[in-house]
Amino acid sequence: MDILDKPSYLRAFDDFLYKPTYLLLCWALTVFANVFGAELFTYTCFVLIVLYLCLCGRDLLPIMPLAICSYIAPSRNSNPGLSNDSLFAFSNGGLYIIILAVVLIAALVYRLIRDPELGRSAFWKCKRTLLPGMLALAAGYLLSGLGSDQLTAIGPKNLLFSSIQAVSVILFYFILTGCVKWEKAPAGYLAWTGMCVGYVLLAELLFIYFRYGVIQNGAIERTLIYSGWGHYNNIGALLAMMIPFPFFLTGKGKHSGLFYISGLLFLAGVLFTCSRASMLCGVLAYLASYTISLLHSRRARANFAIHIFTALVILVVFILYHDDLLRLFRDLIGHGFKPGERFEGYAAGWEQFLNDPIFGATFYPVDESIYSWSTSAEFVAFFPPRWHNTFLQMLASCGVVGFAAYIFHRVQTFQLFLRNFSGKKMFVFVSMLTMLVTSMVDCHFFNLGPVLFYSATLAFTECRLNK
């Protein structure tokens, strides 16, 4: 439907989908699902929005916040890693979710067939600079375990899991690069999406703290920090990835102070997840983003009041609540940043690589004793425990072939950010680095949510911020 043929209320809705108020709606629907267990309602609303976009929307840019919000929407009782009877079980809401997925695929195919500007041959001929590296990485995933005894035992299962990993890297990059009118895309849309996700995570974290009594005997019991989609490490890392995006917006409008406060709130949220790697990387991301904002924007540099306010807030909180904060974090401080059981896992992963060095021994550890947070046997049977280090994961699972493919992909992504250098790209670069560094002691690069967001950010950076 041509925009001139649309009634006024549909034109107004089109405009709404590209404004921050739309992200506020995404925030509300996601928090509602997570707090009240209303995932099916929220997913239905999201699908209706995508249907509109596919049938008569300008382009598919507004699906970007829906993708990551869908991942972080599940409520605590729906966590499939802790219960075989979660919402995602086929007999509960699983069938309905499959139906929604089929509807989405059909709508996307319709848009690609119908739209001569974004679909048909134009979609497939669209320039995608990062695609060679992504395809190489996908091939490395799919070849994992080739020739190993482990592949003989669990071949179909490993093929399905590695396919999901490959799709998570490529999917949104491939769709968004071809199905968005980038010349009309707001430059701040990715940053507003990051703000939306960050505030969703803050709301979920606050709910967990108050609803489930995380503070016990004056200390934080971090094992109680989990939701329907992940625990404290997952929440902390994803929230740390969102820290740069408020700073991206500090050069916009007259209210840059709100964005500095948002960045400070995101950092506080990361600290209260008690995820050690996320805390360290979150602090570094905050300092880097703050510095880039001062260098990038004269408006930000001129806002002396907010800089003084930020420093005073940090100082006052530390002075007034020094003892209370130490008490809250005492177990974490006592344990320090020691890797715990990870060294044993690293040794097992290295041994697995040495036994099958060319293509690895699949994503499923040969040594079944590796730690897994999940208590659901069915969940672990499909989502294997991982090695908590990206390099070791690639070597143990995909061998030198997969590792070389990962390095190729990584070189391409670094070239994207460092060529045609700009301050705007640097905020996204800090977000990506946050995920990559936390993944050196965890497995976030092999978790679907962070990688779906990562895939979308690469598309946005290449097609909108690289101009």
Q: What is the mean pLDDT of each run of 10 residues along the chain (467 residues)?
A: 68 94 98 96 97 94 97 91 76 91 96 93 94 98 95 92 96 96 95 98 96 87 90 95 94 77 94 90 93 77 69 75 67 59 81 95 81 58 83 96 98 94 92 96 92 97 91
Query: What residues have CB less than 8 Å from 341, skipping those under 6 apart?
Result: 371
Selection from 261, 269, 327 nearest residue 290 by Cα: 261
Instruction: Using the Cα atoms of residue 335, residue 341, residue 342 and residue 346 in order, give the sign of their dihedral.
Output: positive
Predicted local confidence at residue 376, as pLDDT: 57
CA–CA separation, 190 and 457 (whole Å): 7
Half-sphere exposure of residue 10, counting CA atoms within 13 Å on the CB side? 14
Angle between helices 131-142 and 390-418 (to 10 degrees): 170
Residues making up the chain, counted from first to last: 467
- Tokens at residue 93, please? 């809401």
Predicted local confidence at residue 369, as pLDDT: 60
Predicted local confidence at residue 304, as pLDDT: 67
Predicted local confidence at residue 303, as pLDDT: 66
Is residue 115 packed enough to be buried (19+ CB in 10 Å), middle (13-18) or exposed (0-12)? middle
**SS3 at position 83:** coil
Is residue 356 packed enough to be buried (19+ CB in 10 Å), middle (13-18) or exposed (0-12)? buried
CA–CA separation, 179 and 466 (whole Å): 17
**Residue 371 CB neighbour total at 10 angstroms:** 12
